[in-house]
Amino acid sequence: MSTKKPSVPNSQLAGTDTLDRGNTNSKLQSLEAFRSDASEQALRTNQGVKIADNQNTLKVGARGPSLLEDFIMREKITHFDHERIPERIVHARGTGAHGYFQTYENHSALTKAGFLRDPGKKTPVFVRFSTVQGPRGSGDTVRDVRGFAVKFFTDEGNFDLVGNNMPVFFIQDAIKFPDFVHAVKPEPHNEIPTGASAHDTFWDFVSLQPESAHMVIWAMSDRAIPKSFRSMQGFGVHTFRFINAEGTSSFVKFHWRPAAGTCSLVWDEAQKLAGKDTDFHRRDLWEAIEGGDYPEWELGVQVISEDNEHSFDFDILDPTKLIPEELVPITPLGKMVLNRNPDNFFAETEQVAFCPGHIVPGIDFSNDPLLQGRLFSYTDTQLSRLGGPNFHELPINRPLVPIHNGQRDAMHRSTIDKGRASYEPNSIDGGWPKETPPAPENGGFESYHERIDADKIRQRSPSFSDHFSQARLFYKSMSPHEQEHIIGAYSFELGKVEREWIRARQVNEILANIDLELAARVARNLGLPAPKAGTVEVPQPALDRSPALSQANLLSGDIKTRKIAVLVADGVDGQAIDDLKKALEAEGAHAKLLGPTSAPVTTAQGKVLPVHASMEGLPSVVFDAVFVPGGAKSVQALGGDGVALHYLLEAYKHLKAIALQGEAKQLRDVLKLQADAGLIVGGEAKALRAFFDAIAQHRVWEREPKTKAIPA
Q: Are 567 and 647 in contact (CB under 8 A)?
A: yes
Question: What are φ and ψ of residue 183, in 5° steps?
Answer: -70, -40
Quickly state the pLDDT bin for 32 (edges 50, 70, 90). low
563-585: per-residue pLDDT in tens? 999 999 999 999 999 999 999 99
CA atoms of 637 and 650, how far apart (whole Å):
19
Q: For residue 599, is pLDDT > 60?
A: yes
214-258: per-residue pLDDT in tens? 999 999 999 999 999 999 999 999 999 999 999 999 999 999 999
Q: For residue 209, is pLDDT > 80?
A: yes
CA atoms of 308 and 300, how far apart (whole Å):
19
Question: What are φ and ψ of residue 58, in 5° steps?
Answer: -70, 125
| Average pLDDT rounded to a whole number, residues 125-148 | 96
| Average pLDDT rounded to a whole number, residues 73-85 | 78
Residues 6+ apart with CB under 8 A from 402: none
653-671: per-residue pLDDT in tens? 999 999 999 999 999 999 9
Quickly state the pLDDT bin for 84 (edges 50, 70, 90). low
- Residue 27 has a pLDDT of 39
- Residue 708 has a pLDDT of 78
Residues of the chain with pLDDT > 70: what percent?
94
310-348: per-residue pLDDT in tens? 999 999 999 999 999 999 999 999 999 999 999 999 999
469-521: per-residue pLDDT in tens? 999 999 999 999 999 999 999 999 999 999 999 999 999 999 999 999 999 99
- Residue 378 has a pLDDT of 92
What residue segments make up the domains of the chain, in order of their start?
58-393, 464-553, 563-707
Residues 6+ apart with CB under 8 A from 412: 386, 387, 388, 390, 391, 393
Grouping H, G, I as helix, E, B as strand and the rest as coil, residue 484 is helix
Quickly state the pLDDT bin for 2 (edges 50, 70, 90). very low
- Residue 25 has a pLDDT of 46
Quickly state the pLDDT bin for 293 (edges 50, 70, 90). very high
Grouping H, G, I as helix, E, B as strand and the rest as coil, residue 59 is strand
| Average pLDDT rounded to a whole number, residues 116-122 | 97
Q: For residue 19, is pLDDT > 60?
A: no
Residues at the binding site for heme are 88, 128, 177, 374, 378, 385
What residues pair up with 127 in beta bridges, in sequence order?
A: 97, 150
Extract the runs of DSSP E, i.e. beta strands, from 306-360.
Answer: 331-340
Residues 182/188/194/197 CA torsion (nearest 10 deg): -50
**CATH code, residues 464-553:** 1.20.1370.20
Distance (Å) of CA 92 to CA 59, 85, 135, 349, 370: 31, 11, 5, 11, 20
CATH fold for the domain made of 563-707: Rossmann fold (3.40.50)
**H/E segment holding residue 566:** strand 563-567
The correct CATH number of 58-393 out of 2.60.120.560, 3.30.200.20, 3.40.30.10, 2.40.180.10 is: 2.40.180.10
Residues known to be catalytic: 91, 164
Least trusted range by pLDDT, from 157-161, 334-338, 417-421 = 417-421
Q: Are 5 and 207 in contact (CB under 8 A)?
A: no
Quickly state the pLDDT bin for 85 (edges 50, 70, 90). low
Q: Are 384 and 82 in contact (CB under 8 A)?
A: yes
- Residue 69 has a pLDDT of 82
- Residue 518 has a pLDDT of 98
**Fold matches, 58-393 and 563-707:** no
- Residue 505 has a pLDDT of 98
Quickly state the pLDDT bin for 695 (edges 50, 70, 90). very high
> Could you give the angle at the alpha carbon of 210 between the alpha carbons of 209 and 216, nearest 5°?
90
- Residue 35 has a pLDDT of 59
Residues of the chain with pLDDT > 90: what percent?
78
Residue among 130, 134, 132, 136 nearest 148 (CA): 130
More confident residue, 93 or 442: 93
What residues pair up with 60 in beta bridges, in sequence order?
A: 456
Residues 6+ apart with CB under 8 A from 695: 559, 562, 564, 589, 624, 625, 657
Residues at the binding site are 88, 128, 177, 374, 378, 385
- Mean pLDDT for all residues in the chain: 92
Q: For residue 683, is pLDDT > 80?
A: no
CA atoms of 595 and 648, how far apart (whole Å):
13
Which contacts (CB < 8 Å, 24+ apart) does range 445-450 have? 445/359, 445/360, 445/361, 446/361, 447/364, 448/241, 448/243, 448/249, 448/364, 449/247
Q: For residue 20, is pLDDT > 50?
A: no
CA atoms of 26 and 22, how far apart (whole Å):
9
Least trusted range by pLDDT, from 53-67, 255-269, 305-319 = 53-67
